[in-house]
Amino acid sequence: MSELDVSLLMRRTRLLLRFYPPGYRARRGEEILDTLLETTRPGRGWPPAREVASVIGGGLRARRAANLNQGLRASLRHVGILAAAMTMVQTPAALLVVVGEPIANVRPSGLPSYAELGIALGSLLVVVALVLQPHFVMFVLRVAWFYAG
Amino acid sequence: MREPTYFVLAALLRGPLHGYAIMKRAGELSGGRVRLATGILYTALDRLTAEGHVELVSEERVGGRVRRTYGLTEGGSAALRAEAMRMAEAARLVIESGAEKKAGIAARKLRTT
């Protein structure tokens, strides 16, 4: 195995650790990385699939635990961000519904209007983005880049 | 106590081990039935440490990385022992009644022939 492969494996494994919340990663990250690398046979570019799956599961579990322990103030801030984001997405969508009403009467029955699709898609995006959080969105993009590369 | 937890504790009976060694030992002890993956192992270690069944014994740096060794606490040994006793009781119920049944069948056969 060339040194390039080892460094790629290391980078991918470190990326995988991003599933864990920052505090947890600081405490346990290096240790988990060490164990993950031991489960990987030489010459492989990724740890085994079941190891990857277990780390994703463990990371999300640790995130949930960290979110539950974050205290009232941080929880309220999260709720505030959520509410603001929902409003930001839904206000234009609601406007579209009003404007689109005359057009909606013309559309063939049974098909959803663009406005309805907009609301559904917008809400979905906000929920996904909030669940994942900004760091996590970046992380997903980087994973996609890794797969593409 | 769930089976993976049981075998994680059992893996530490002979002395403290680090993460990967616990995974391997638990696999060996269970005849390959318990195959712990990394994420599951650390979730279990978090919980067992919080419950006071397992504790951090030592911490060393190997090539710039941290390797932590975990050991059974007294509470952990006691919990493992209690679970082993419970399973032994449950096993005896079946194994001994099985032996009686066999004896019963043999006796009936003798009578009919």
- Average pLDDT across each block of 10 residues of chain A; the chain has 149 residues. List them in order: 75 92 91 92 88 92 79 71 74 70 60 69 70 62 67
CA atoms within 13 A on the CB side of A14: 10
Q: Assign residue B50 the CATH number of its domain.
A: 1.10.10.10
Same domain, A7 and A64: yes
Mutate to test the interface with A, among B25, B42, B48 (most CBs of A within 10 A): B42
If asked whether residues A76 and A143 sit together in one domain, one would say yes
Percent of chain B with pLDDT over 70: 96
pLDDT of residue B68: 93
Q: How many domains does chain A have?
A: 2
Specify whether A63 is located in the same domain as A133.
no
State yes or no: pLDDT of B98 exceeds 70: no
Structural domain that includes position A56: 1-69
For A53, name the nearest residue in chain B, comparing CA atoms only: B39
Same domain, A87 and A138: yes
pLDDT of residue B31 exceeding 70, the answer is yes
Q: Which of A31-45, A107-121, B80-94, B97-111 has the highest mean pLDDT?
A: B80-94
What integer pLDDT is reported at residue A86 of this predicted model? 75
- pLDDT at residue A130, rounded to an integer: 63
A47 CB within 8 Å of a chain B CB:
yes
Which of the two residues, A42 and B80, has the higher pLDDT score? B80
Structure confidence at residue B55 (pLDDT): 96
Which pair of structure tokens corresponds to residue B52?
């006071």
Is A13 in the same domain as A29? yes
Mutation pick from A34, A41, A63 vs chain B, by most beta carbons of B within 10 Å, is: A34
Query: Domain residues for B104?
Result: 3-112
Domain stop point among A36, A69, A102: A69
- Of A69, A94, A110, which closes a domain? A69
A85/A57 same-domain check: no
Same domain, residue pair A94 and A60: no
Cα angle A84, A89, A92; round to 5: 120
Pick the last residue of a domain from A69, A93, A124.
A69
Cβ distance of B19 and A31 shorter than 8 Å: yes
- The predicted structure's pLDDT at residue A109: 56
Using CA of residue A57, residue A59, residue A62, residue A66, what is the dihedral sign?
Answer: negative
Examine the domain organization and report whether A59 and A77 are in the same domain.
Answer: no
The predicted pLDDT at position B82 comes to 96
Q: How far apart are CA A15 and CA A22, in angstroms?
A: 12
Residues near B32 by Cβ (< 8 Å), separated by ≥ 6?
A: none
ipTM above 0.85, yes or no: no
Same domain, A42 and A99: no
CA distances from B74 to A5, A13, A34, A112, B84 (A): 44, 35, 28, 64, 15
Q: Is A78 on the interface with B (CB under 8 A)?
A: no
pLDDT computed for residue A89 by the predictor: 72
Residue of A nearest to B35 (CA): A50
Looking at the structure of chain B, the number of domains it has is 1
pLDDT (0 to 100) of residue A83: 76
A54 and A115 housed in the same domain: no
Mark whether A12 and A59 lie in a shared domain: yes
Is the predicted pLDDT of residue B11 greater than 90, yes or no?
yes
Residue-level pLDDT at A133: 60
